[in-house]
């Protein structure tokens, strides 16, 4: 959940949201922000009892606090394997640890922070860009209701950062305004060069945005949109 959405919900309803984390392969839950330990907004908390979790690099070496790697876990909650799929099981359960495909970092207190899905990471000119980081910034803009950041093919950098945005009802914002908003808050190679507005983003049954089904417009063309005249904007 974007931190800004969480804070807005807490203000509106006078409650505290505690985030957790899990997968179908981990029987739904693996970590949580525990009531008796305090919580950290934006964190999925610490592993539940009898579950081991850590982050590793591409060679399954343990990473120190602060470095981004893939979450792996083991414990009573982890599946035995995929039904009749031995190759997929061997790939997911390397060394007895479930490889989740989720990228995260761990702080000095042992709290995990999801960075993004491994498959969603954008590699722009050799630099790693995590879409979730850019989406968190976009959600801070008062005109943005929803945002999805994806990588699009680029002849110079291999991939370029792009953002599909749904504006709040009655709100107005230009692509240049939103680009500058993000540009002021992230490293120079991370802000979206391509931005377009949409009426809605495709979602699955759980409400998650389906990025791979999000339509990508002709990035060389601008089209009309109820919020403003220019809907597609690109920048090098």
Q: Which CATH number fits the domain that encloses residue 34? A: 2.30.38.10
With a pLDDT cut of 90, the percent of the chain lying above it is 75
Please check whether residues 169 and 146 belong to one and the same domain. yes
First-to-last C-alpha distance (Å) of the chain: 30
> What φ, ψ does residue 35 adopt, rounded to 5°?
-60, -40
How many structural domains does the chain have?
2
pLDDT of residue 207: 85
Please check whether residues 25 and 107 belong to one and the same domain. yes
Alpha-carbon gap, residue 85 to 112, rounded angstroms: 30
Please check whether residues 96 and 203 belong to one and the same domain. no
What's the mean pLDDT in 14-23?
Answer: 94
Alpha-carbon gap, residue 55 to 139, rounded angstroms: 27
- Give the torsion through C-alpha atoms of 133, 139, 142, 147, to 10 deg: 110
Q: Is the pLDDT of residue 91 over 90?
A: yes
**pLDDT: which is higher, 24 or 232:** 24
Q: What is the CA radius of gyration of the chain?
A: 19
What's the mean pLDDT in 145-154?
Answer: 94
Structural domain boundaries, residue 88: 3-118
Residue-wise pLDDT tens digits, 71-88: 999 999 999 999 999 999
Non-local CB neighbours of 191 within 8 Å, separated by 6+ positions: 134, 161, 179, 182, 183
CATH number at residue 173: 3.30.300.30
pLDDT of residue 231: 54
Which of 88, 118, 148 is the endpoint of a domain?
Answer: 118
Please check whether residues 111 and 127 belong to one and the same domain. no
Give the chain's mean pLDDT: 90
What's the mean pLDDT in 87-104?
Answer: 95
Which of 118, 143, 176 is the endpoint of a domain?
Answer: 118
Alpha-carbon gap, residue 78 to 100, rounded angstroms: 11
Query: At 130, is the secondary structure helix, strand, or coil?
Result: coil
Q: For residue 154, list its beta bridge partners.
A: 158
Residue 198, both tokens: 């949409």
pLDDT of residue 229: 34
Banded model confidence at residue 224, pLDDT cuts 50, 70, 90: very low
Please check whether residues 14 and 25 belong to one and the same domain. yes
pLDDT of residue 34: 85
pLDDT of residue 233: 67
| Maximum separation of any 2 CA atoms in the chain, in Å | 56
What's the mean pLDDT in 21-32?
Answer: 94
Q: At what angle do helices 3-13 and 131-139 cross, to 10 degrees?
A: 40
Q: At what angle do helices 131-139 and 175-183 cross, to 10 degrees?
A: 110
Which of 82, 100, 118 is the endpoint of a domain?
Answer: 118
């Amino acid at each position: 959940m974007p931190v800004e959405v969480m804070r807005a919900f807490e203000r509106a309803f006078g409650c505290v949201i505690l985030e957790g984390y899990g997968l179908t392969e981990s029987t739904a839950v693996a970590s949580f922000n525990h009531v008796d330990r305090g919580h950290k907004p934006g964190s999925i908390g610490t592993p539940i009892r009898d579950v081991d979790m850590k982050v590793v690099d591409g060679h399954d070496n343990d990473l120190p606090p602060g470095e981004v790697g893939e979450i792996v876990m083991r414990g009573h909650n982890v599946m035995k394997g995929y039904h009749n799929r031995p190759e997929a099981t061997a790939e997911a359960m390397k060394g007895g640890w479930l490889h989740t495909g989720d990228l995260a970092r761990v702080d000095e207190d042992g709290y995990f922070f999801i960075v993004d899905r491994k498959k969603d990471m954008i590699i722009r000119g050799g630099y790693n860009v995590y879409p979730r980081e850019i989406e968190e910034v976009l959600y801070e803009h008062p005109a943005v209701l929803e945002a999805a950041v994806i990588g699009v093919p680029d002849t110079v950098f291999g991939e370029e950062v792009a953002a599909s945005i749904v504006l709040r009802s009655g709100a107005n914002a230009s692509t240049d305004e939103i680009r500058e908003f993000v540009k002021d808050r992230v490293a120079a190679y991370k802000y979206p060069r391509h931005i377009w507005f949409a009426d809605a983003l495709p979602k699955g049954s759980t409400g998650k945005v389906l990025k791979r089904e999000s339509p990508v417009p002709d990035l060389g063309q601008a089209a009309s949109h109820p919020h403003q005249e220019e809907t597609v904007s690109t920048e090098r």
